[in-house]
Amino acid sequence: MTRRDFLWNCGGGLGGVALAQMLSGATHHPPKAKRVVQLFMSGAASQCDTFDYKPLLIQKNGEKFDPGGKVELFQSTPGVVMKSPWGWKRYGQCGKWMSDLVPHLGGCSDDIAFVHSMMSKSNVHGPATFMQNSGFVLPGFPAMGSWVSYGLGSLNQNLPAFIVLPDKRGFAPNGPGNWSAGFLPAAHQGTLIRASDPNPIFDLFPPKDARFINSRSEAEAWSLLRDMNRDHLQSREGDSRLEARIASYEMAARLQLSAPEVLNIDGESEATKKLYGLDQPVTEDFGRNCLVARRLLERGVRFVQVWSGADNGFPRRNWDSHENIARDHLQMGTGMDKPAAALIKDLKSRGMLNDTIVFWTTEFGRMPCSQGSKGRDHNPFAFTVWLAGGGIKGGVSCGSSDEWSYKAAEHPVYCYDVHATVLHLLGLDHTRLTYRYNGIDRRLTDVHGNVIRDLLA
């Protein structure tokens, strides 16, 4: 057991007494960023309708899709080449081509570094979503946020280090398995916050129908429990777990105070709410989550994961637009674009973008040819993710797909390299952030991963 493991098992978790201080020197090298917000597009967001501009698709629209070699699709036989239903414009000083689906993000293009040569090891939502989260196509491995929590702890003793804000419409494929701590101690599990639910955190307060509990009984219960536990400890000195449990109730009381404050957005200005699109139904839910994410980051949460999209069911409620890209990506893209851009702008105006990484990702991409006549099938061979903020060079595009946006061409990478890069910016060496489980020193990056130097400022 390493020192890190020991600390986490005995009184780690939320805040963990003087633990944050003990671990604050635990980075491997000086960090460029302190925290991360990950925006996860569930269902597979199309690269060739958003960020990966290919004139060839416009030119050959409606012709046979013939990139050479056998084309093997997930659900369908390949249709004809299909240009994006959206037009394309150049944005910013970097002159980045982006589609009319994401004009607000276009306005942030000089802050964003795109990776166009992403690949996935699975063409199936479940395993591929696991892979983008944990680096493995199998269930049971710790999510990236769990690794960051394990590596760095929380900056705020009163809030968990890793918080997850799901889409209001439901969970993505794999459900809460996506933010599992796997074999890491339970403290590193993503804490679920349903920002627009009347009861946003499980068991934060007693159930409303428990009438025997009131504010006085609560206040006295905390001190009663502390006294009982201290008496019990007296004849059992030397057991740090018993002390940690006493401390855990003190932390729980602090969480009860801090959580409602952070989730209450009433104090935000009208301009801010508008920036995130809270005034329009299409952007309201993702916008609220992005705004709450900013508030959490502001208060020292290390890793916030915000989901755009639920499961792959019908009518479509995520990015899995097999049937009709124009209809279904319009809904998802419009809902995501403005709030995501707002998050970058808002962090920037508060001076937080310098040390906060915004990481936009999805499980794989979509095919440049049509499925049926209007949809797009899965594409694990090329997709786009992007990063902005702490330590990231803005206005650049790393790697590229081929002329079709069909396969990664220049500098093909898997999530390992992006994960390694994010950890690197947080001051962690991805080969040294390990946990021994069933005989293997496990890593977020398995046995892979290279920091993508071109992304670094």
- CA 181 to CA 365: how far, in whole Å? 26
For position 126 contacting another protein by CB under 8 A, the verdict is yes
Closest CB 300 distance from another protein, rounded Å: 15
Question: What residues numbered 389-428 form the site for another protein, per CB under 8 A?
Answer: none
Residue that has been written with the tokens 């899995």 in this structure:
320
Q: Which residues are paired to 371 by β-bridges?
A: 375
Q: Is 75 in the site for another protein (CB under 8 A)?
A: yes
The answer to whether 54 touches 369, Cβ cutoff 8 Å, is: no
Which residue, 144 or 392, has its beta carbon nearer to another protein? Answer: 144
Asked if 190 interacts with another protein (CB under 8 A), we say no
In the bound complex, what is the minimum distance in angstroms from residue 327's beta carbon to another protein? 11
449 near another protein (CB under 8 A): no
Identify which of 171, 131, 164 has the alpha carbon closest to the alpha carbon of residue 361: 131
Task: Looking at residues 222 to 281 of the shown chain, list those that interact with another protein (rule: CB under 8 A).
Answer: 224-225, 227-229, 231-233, 235-239, 241-242, 244-246, 248-249, 251-252, 254-256
Task: Tell me the pairing of strands 408-410 and 400-401.
Answer: antiparallel
Token pair for 370: 């049509």
Q: Considering only the stretches 205-213, 264-272, 340-348, 449-457, report the one whose residues sit in contact with another protein under the rule CB under 8 A.
A: 205-213
C-beta of 107 vs 200, nearer to another protein: 200
The tokens for 32 are: 């460029």
Is residue 356 within 8 A of residue 33, CB to CB? The reply is: yes
Q: How far apart are CA 266 and CA 249, in angstroms?
A: 29
Asked whether position 215 contacts another protein by CB under 8 A, the answer is no
Nearer Cβ to another protein (230/453) = 230
Contact call for residue 63 and another protein (CB under 8 A): no
* Residue 268, both tokens: 């935000």
Binding another protein by CB under 8 A: which of 212, 234, 271, 281? Answer: 212
SS3 percent helix, strand, coil of the chain, rounded to 5, is 35, 15, 50
Point out which span in 27-35, 60-68, 94-102, 198-206 binds another protein (CB under 8 A): 198-206
Site string for another protein, 349-378 (x = CB under 8 A): -----------------------xxx----
Q: For residues 430 and 144, what is the distance between their CA atoms, to the nearest angstrom?
A: 11
Tell whether residue 308 is a contact of another protein (CB under 8 A): no
Cα–Cα distance between 122 and 311 in angstroms, integer? 17
Site for another protein in 315-344 (CB under 8 A): 323-324
Minimal distance in Å, beta carbon 314 to another protein?
7
- Which residue from 358, 374, 372 is spatially nearest to 418, judged by alpha carbons? 358
